[in-house]
Amino acid sequence: PYCLVIGGGQGGIMLGARLRQLGVPAIIIEKNARAGDSWRNRYRSLVLHDPVWYDHLPYIPFPENWPVFTPKDKMGDWLEMYARVMELNYWVATKCVSAAYDEAEKAWTVIVDRVGQRITLKPKHIVLATGAYGPPRQISLPGAEAFKGEILHSSQYSSGEKFRGKRVAVIGAASSGHDVSVDLWEAGAMVTMVQRSPTTVVKSDTLMEVGFEIFSEKALARGITTDKADMIVASTPFALVPKGQRALYDIIRERDADFYKRLSDSGFALDFGEDETGLLMKAYRTGSGFY
């Protein structure tokens, strides 16, 4: 292919669709067994935290009856359907083994393992669409080897059913920590969530009405389509984003002052980022510490 896309989640799939419409020969390789498995393999209760108007894929928008917050399996099925309908050259169960660039040929030599078979590809370009935040962050707990219970990362957690009636400690009080804690509690576990550092918390309704207002039904009514909103966001110089976010969170703190007071009074440690720029800048900088 002219371009090899390594990683077949939503980013790799959308890029593959754009390249196909431009007539650029491309192959997308994905380590999982099916398109969409990067969502299906997560914990049972996971739903997207972004509203549907923010999540449209190019060429095939979600239908009007699509939920505002998409369940993870539904998202996985949509990505699988999308890859098939858009006729993408999508290789599942395929991993990149090695890649080397030849300066003379101005091309890459890439060896991939496709369902146990080694294949050599010679693309001109490689795109790494392997996710924004990297591998799971494990913590080292002294004496963990003597613990008789189960220790697992949230990326390995699926459901709270097997923990019914058991005492469970969830280390971390951001998005995954809250989602897993609620799922465990609903399954009948006795849960203690341990907060190690302050968390930026924003109410979902507030985030949709203030933070994501440009991606909403109200914006559509004003003629701001998802494509137009994308262009507005993408054309904003990144150096200006922190200033805008700081002003936004001044509004959010005032709007939800009573909520934040009650949260702080309960003993929950709150912050709005190192420079008061809130959730979005935390997402950009570390991908953690917000809910």
Tell me: the pLDDT tens digits for 244-289? 999 999 999 999 999 999 999 999 999 999 899 999 999 999 889 9
175 pLDDT band, cuts 50/70/90, is very high
Residue 232 pLDDT class (50, 70, 90 cuts): very high
Q: How confident is the model at residue 139 (pLDDT cuts 50, 70, 90)?
A: confident
- Residue 140 in this model has a pLDDT that exceeds 80: yes
CB of 25 within 8 A of CB of 2?
Answer: yes
Complete domains list, the chain, with CATH: 3-128 (3.50.50.60), 144-194 (3.50.50.60), 199-286 (no CATH)
CA distances from 233 to 24, 64, 78, 212, 238 (A): 26, 23, 25, 11, 9
Question: Are the beta carbons of 1 and 26 closer than 8 angstroms?
Answer: yes
Q: How confident is the model at residue 212 (pLDDT cuts 50, 70, 90)?
A: confident
| β-sheet bridge partners, residue 47 | 71
- What percent of the chain is predicted at pLDDT more than 90? 89
SS3 87: coil
As a whole number, the mean pLDDT across the chain is 95
Asked if pLDDT for residue 93 goes beyond 90, the answer is yes
DSSP string, the chain: --EEEE--SHHHHHHHHHHHHTT--EEEE-SSSSTTHHHHTS-TT-B-SS-HHHHPPSSSPPPTTS-SS-BHHHHHHHHHHHHHHTT--EESSEEEEEEEEETTTTEEEEEEEETTEEEEE--SEEEE-S-SS-S------TTGGG--S----GGG---SGGGTTSEEEEE--SHHHHHHHHHHHHTT-EEEEEP-S-BB---HHHIIIIISTTSSHHHHHTT--HHHHHHHHHTS-GGGHHHHHHHHHHHHHHHTHHHHHHHHHTT--B---TTS-HHHHHHHHTS-SB-
- In this prediction the pTM is 0.89
Q: What is the pLDDT of residue 173?
A: 96
pLDDT score of 132: 82
